[in-house]
Structure 1
Amino acid sequence: MSSDQVTVAEEEYLQALFWLQEAQLPMTAANVARAMQLSPPTVSEMIGRLEGDGYISRAADKTLDFTAEGREHAEAIVRRHRLIERFLTDVLGIPWDEVHEEAERLEHAMSPVLEERMMAAIGDAKTCPHGHPIVLEERERGSLLADCEIGASVKILRFENEAEELLHYLRKIGLEPGLDGTVESSNEHEVVVASADGKHSISRSVAETVSVRADPAPPPRAALPEQLELSSDRYGR
Structure 2
Amino acid sequence: MARVRDNQIPYVHQCTYQYYADLIHYLAEQRGEIKHLCEVGVFLGGASVLLAQAAVDFDLTLDLIDLNPNYLGYTYELILRYIPEAAARVRAFHGDFPTYVEAGHIQRQEGSVFIQFDASHEFRFVLKDMVALRSAKEFIKSFAIQDTNLRSKEPENEIFVDLAVYAMFGFDVRYRPVGYTWSRDIWIGSDWELYLSKDRPEGFLIELVENRFGYPSDEV
- Tell me which interval the TM-score lies in, with the shorter structure as reference length: under 0.3
**TM-score with structure 1 length normalisation?**
0.26
Structure of higher CA gyration radius = 1
**TM-score with structure 2 length normalisation?**
0.28
More strand per residue: 1 or 2? 2
More helix per residue: 1 or 2? 1
